[in-house]
Amino acid sequence: MTERLPLILLLALHLFVSGVFSTSILTIENKCNKTIWPVVFSWRSKVSTSGFTLKSGEARAIQAPSSWYGLISARTLCSNDSTGNFTCATGDCESGGIECPGAYNWSPVTYLLFRIDDGGINSYTISVEYGYNLPLKVVPSIPTCISSGCMVDLSKTCPNDLKKFVGRDIVACNSACREDNSQENCCTRYFNSKQTCKPTQYVENFDRACPFAYSYAFNDNNSTFTCTNSTDYVITFCPSSIPDTTRSSMAPLPAEPKHNSQGMLNTILGTT
């Protein structure tokens, strides 16, 4: 047994180097004119951090292991209150600290959902199903893969009744579902199918603001992009521009999901 062990280790090393156990490097950069606090939440496998501080102009690289399913978002206007509890005006993960372990509650922020090395394929989806707070751009390291983005101006693109304010400043745009919890806007009960839950005026507004993002439970705008499992990605918050993406270059969405409070999660995981 002791003689065979080195051979097993050499085989494992070979598999890792050859890409069978592949990883992707996710570089998150902050081009905003203010500090942000990214969240990296994992449903399957784990990465080295679940939340951190990123000052304007800074970047941080994270290694996403094979079979990682997770999301990336960014919190804004964070600080410690009088008791030392860490809170944020947008995207607060309610952990009381900079890291975001444990369960995740959806909030009105721009989400980026990843699936790494799922059968030799990576995929990512930008989601505004729950609202949005910051523009972002995703650029794969392989030129033949599709780059995409969501460029928003909160003061211009968010309907007045969905705007989230801190003082006089607009800091996020809520979704109609989170605002009124109606069956029609949330695609629940009698509206829980593609035939009965149609895009509302609010969904259409989100589609105009971010046409290549997932906007509601039965969205079919081909917002999921795929590439090989060896691809790295640069995720930029507050980019100066976004790629000129054409719908003809997009990969189809997975099979239509059944809706629940995590409709986007069902889509990215391909569950029903």
Digit-coded pLDDT (tens) for 180-195: 999 999 998 888 888 8
Structure tokens at 270: 């391909």
Average pLDDT over residues 96-121: 92
The CA distance from 87 to 151, in Å, is: 25
Q: Which domain holds residue 137?
A: 22-267
Query: Does the pLDDT value for residue 32 go beyond 50?
Result: yes
**Domain assignment of residue 172, yes or no:** yes
CA dist 141 and 144 (Å) reads: 9
**What residue type is 94 in one-letter code?**
E
**Cα separation, 107 vs 90, whole angstroms:** 8
pLDDT at 1: 47
15-25 per-position pLDDT tens digit: 444 445 578 99
161 within domain boundaries: yes
* In-domain check, residue 200: yes
* pTM for the predicted model, two decimal places: 0.84
Query: Domain with 182 in it: what CATH number?
Result: 2.60.110.10
3 domain-assigned: no
Question: Would you say residue 207 lies in a domain?
Answer: yes
State the Cα–Cα distance between residues 223 and 219, nearest whole angstrom. Answer: 9
Residue 5 domain flag = no
Q: Does residue 17 fall inside a structural domain?
A: no
> How many domains does the chain fold into?
1
Residue 199, domain member (yes or no): yes
pLDDT class of 244 with cuts at 50, 70, 90? low
CB half-sphere exposure, 73, CA atoms < 13 A:
28
